Structure 1
């Protein structure tokens, strides 16, 4: 079991080593989560074709909504846990995690019922065409059965990382992804089950992730969550979800932007040489691949979260700044690699998802190059949103997060196609990246200035205390 002195390493160990300790497992966990969808897309593209990929693009927003509520609770509990441990309030930290477990169970059951009764209207809402709807329903009817396991498993993963066991969180995610990757070709090709086989492989992997995460709660490192801690407290639950609102908004904003983009793509694609189905499938590939890049960027932000939260609670503001800036640097470096791949080697990525005709490849290449033109700026904006969440400032976190996906991207997606047609959906991406980066930059600079002044006051107070003791 981890001792109090080991927990306090968050306040004393080298920043670089700590960020890597938490970031690498976080990145791998998130990357594996993103790969669930990517692996499905690759095998469906090879075995079913682009209509199958269009169908998964239709169901994808529903999955993102489910994960949004999971992260609302899970990431909120992780931030709450880090702050309370930094303040030395272990009992409150345990109560926060216990309330989170109860909330995750409730949300998991609710989404299962939602999917059972409203799958078809939701598929229409998320842009299903006449050709892709049957595939979307076949895929979705099975995927929804895994919603309770997704909600609980993903939420517990966040708590496990913050509690000091990022490797356990990583292993649970990797185990599920390996099962999914092995079973996908078996179910799709050997059994001939098509999109339904891909969905079944996915939920079996999610069940394994859930089981590993749930079993960990029996012997955690720091916290001993009791049944009393799991009794819902309105005040505790509200605070926990308040801390997780940035992650929640990030996911919901992605859902809204995909919903708007899908419908605009179908509308304007129908009037183009590509038709509605090619753009729907190709743009879905772009969004899924971008989720891999986001996994790295979010992972570095989450990796810094326990360090930032603990030291902010302990009023060690210099370490807060160092952890944040290092996470920004790492996320931006990864974003730069993504930029090079998307601009110069898009066809290599496209080929992974099946061999299609020249018209499909043309639009897919254009989608990567235009929509992700300024993705190099996204690392800063992503980490900054998580940073504000980590220090208990959900309003600023929400502003930073909303600025790209909702405040800029959605209006741009609705307005630009009026003037330049289908390409307007793609140009909305760089417009949103540029404006959201500027908003995040202003808020981050103001917060860093505040942290510097706070650090100076702490140093001055400590100096005065030493001089007082000398006399």
Structure 2
């Protein structure tokens, strides 16, 4: 089989490229999502439902620091895709070197800050009552592994920018499989409880880092950087920052939403209500994996062809990606509407020897999570337009519209809704905020995407 190079992004048929890029991307996201899902099932069955809530409290903090790496990766990869399309490899190399330096400096600093203010951060994100102690154990251990996660997420986007989706897929699979294997060893065999769950996650991050490092030092990568490329270049850093800020802002908003949701739900129903959201949060990560896979596949194809000024291919990439993603989102929607009870039951232990508190929490979750899940995913069939539309502006290097459209759903619509509707409708107000925000953001994104296509892709 001939070696695939980045130039193929500008030559092969769009449908073939999207499928070729999206399938491994989707598999990688699926395995990572399954990791989060199965990890939660293991924790729920072997430790208890309170432990799931504890992990849910820690996730926004660790994911935010990890997302710093993704932000640097996505911002730099947009530059790399366009630079490769314009045959400017020196700029691509400089960008990658700057990504490595920025990721190390920023994430290590954030870990130090996160450990320094641990006593304030955990309660602020909903780690109260019975949730606090297990959350602190998990948080402390996982935070040490987060710089490895950040480097992996940064490197993964660069691998995709090179047009190597299969290697990117493997990089996503390794930490997931490693985590699940270590879950069994550390939780089930060694009986380490929350510490075991945390160490399993951290080992997974380290394994991923080792593989990504192998890729870039091997013959498979086009990123043959030298020491000079690691020195920070102000124009390159500025461009990485402006584009990467889109991804970072999105994750920052996700972390803020976790903070708001955990506190609102704790006030409405205590630890049990937080556990309901923890399960739904896992499904938000897991269920939409094929849609996210198409979105990831879309970015390097659109960016490369835009850099090469092949605008007819960019238009076709947009239309094809939206079509594929919408069909997949509809399939996901049907499954979630039919089987929410069975999905919820997967996370709950049927061990009769559980504590009275865990038994009570399980009963509450089983009764309330299915209906909440139906509301949260009610607008799923239309979200592809919003995701692809926002991603397009990021792919072509237009940071401001990319930022505004990326934040439209969660920042501009969802947060105001979640602050108002629960006061009017209680628990129902929480769940209906999700589809309302989806619909509003999709209409706004569709308008701006259509206008941009008419103005520039001619």
**Pairwise TM-score range, normalised by the shorter structure:** over 0.9
SS of structure 1 residue aligned to 2:309 = coil
Structure of larger gyration radius: 1
Counterpart contact for 2:115–2:140, Cα < 8 Å = yes
Instruction: Give 1:328-339 correspondences, 5 Å limit.
Output: 328-339=322-333
CA positional deviation for 1:307: 1.3
Partner Cα separation in structure 1 for residue 118 and residue 419 of structure 2: 25
Task: For residues 316-338 of structure 1, give each alpha carbon's deviation from its aligned partner in whole angstroms, at most 9, with x where no partner exists.
Answer: 11100111221112222222122
Partner Cα separation in structure 2 for residue 67 and residue 375 of structure 1: 26
Could you tell which deviates more after superposition, 328-337 or 230-239?
328-337
Could you tell which deviates more after superposition, 418-427 or 105-114?
105-114
Task: For residues 189-213 of structure 1, give each alpha carbon's deviation from its aligned partner in whole angstroms, at most 9, with x where no partner exists.
Answer: 2111112111111111110000110
Partner Cα separation in structure 1 for residue 249 and residue 326 of structure 2: 22
SS of structure 1 residue aligned to 2:225 = coil
Q: Say if 2:403 is the partner of 1:398.
A: yes
CA positional deviation for 1:6: 4.0
Counterpart contact for 1:68–1:249, Cα < 8 Å = no
Partner Cα separation in structure 2 for residue 292 and residue 383 of structure 1: 18
Partner Cα separation in structure 2 for residue 87 and residue 369 of structure 1: 46
CA positional deviation for 1:119: 2.1
Q: Say if 2:389 is the partner of 1:384.
A: yes
- Name the residue aligned to 1:424: 429
SS of structure 1 residue aligned to 2:191 = coil
Q: Say if 2:287 is the partner of 1:293.
A: yes
Q: CA RMSD in A?
A: 1.8
Q: Say if 2:432 is the partner of 1:438.
A: no
CA positional deviation for 1:250: 2.2
Q: Say if 2:156 is the partner of 1:157.
A: yes
Partner Cα separation in structure 2 for residue 248 and residue 325 of structure 1: 27
Partner Cα separation in structure 1 for residue 286 and residue 66 of structure 2: 16
Counterpart contact for 1:75–1:247, Cα < 8 Å = yes
Partner Cα separation in structure 2 for residue 97 and residue 241 of structure 1: 13
Instruction: Give 1:270-309 correspondences, 5 Å limit.
Output: 276-309=270-303
Counterpart contact for 1:153–1:209, Cα < 8 Å = yes
Instruction: Give 1:64-463 correspondences, 5 Å limit.
Output: 64-219=63-218, 220-269=220-269, 276-355=270-349, 357-452=362-457, 454=458
CA positional deviation for 1:373: 1.3
CA positional deviation for 1:182: 1.3
Counterparts in 2 of 1:395 and 1:312: CA distance versus 1, 3 Å: same
Partner Cα separation in structure 1 for residue 337 and residue 37 of structure 2: 20
Counterparts in 2 of 1:382 and 1:81: CA distance versus 1, 3 Å: same
Partner Cα separation in structure 2 for residue 350 and residue 290 of structure 1: 13
Task: For residues 29-50 of structure 1, give each alpha carbon's deviation from its aligned partner in whole angstroms, at most 9, with x where no partner exists.
Answer: 3333333422321111001111
Gaps of 5+ in 1: 270-275, 455-471
- Name the residue aligned to 1:51: 50
Task: For residues 360-412 of structure 1, give each alpha carbon's deviation from its aligned partner in whole angstroms, at most 9, with x where no partner exists.
Answer: 21111121011221122222211211111001111111111111111110110
Counterpart contact for 1:67–1:251, Cα < 8 Å = no
Partner Cα separation in structure 2 for residue 36 and residue 183 of structure 1: 11
What is the number of equivalent residue pairs in this alignment?
446
Counterpart contact for 1:107–1:148, Cα < 8 Å = no
SS of structure 1 residue aligned to 2:130 = coil
Partner Cα separation in structure 2 for residue 177 and residue 424 of structure 1: 34
SS of structure 2 residue aligned to 1:217 = helix
Partner Cα separation in structure 2 for residue 427 and residue 223 of structure 1: 46
CA positional deviation for 1:215: 1.9
- Name the residue aligned to 2:355: none
SS of structure 1 residue aligned to 2:287 = helix
After TM superposition, the score normalised by the length of structure 1 is: 0.91
Partner Cα separation in structure 2 for residue 214 and residue 192 of structure 1: 32
Could you tell which deviates more after superposition, 244-253 or 84-93?
244-253
Q: Say if 2:15 is the partner of 1:10.
A: no
Partner Cα separation in structure 2 for residue 48 and residue 404 of structure 1: 35
Partner Cα separation in structure 1 for residue 409 and residue 13 of structure 2: 33
SS of structure 1 residue aligned to 2:217 = coil
Task: For residues 103-135 of structure 1, give each alpha carbon's deviation from its aligned partner in whole angstroms, at most 9, with x where no partner exists.
Answer: 111123123212321223111111112111111
Counterparts in 2 of 1:337 and 1:120: CA distance versus 1, 3 Å: farther
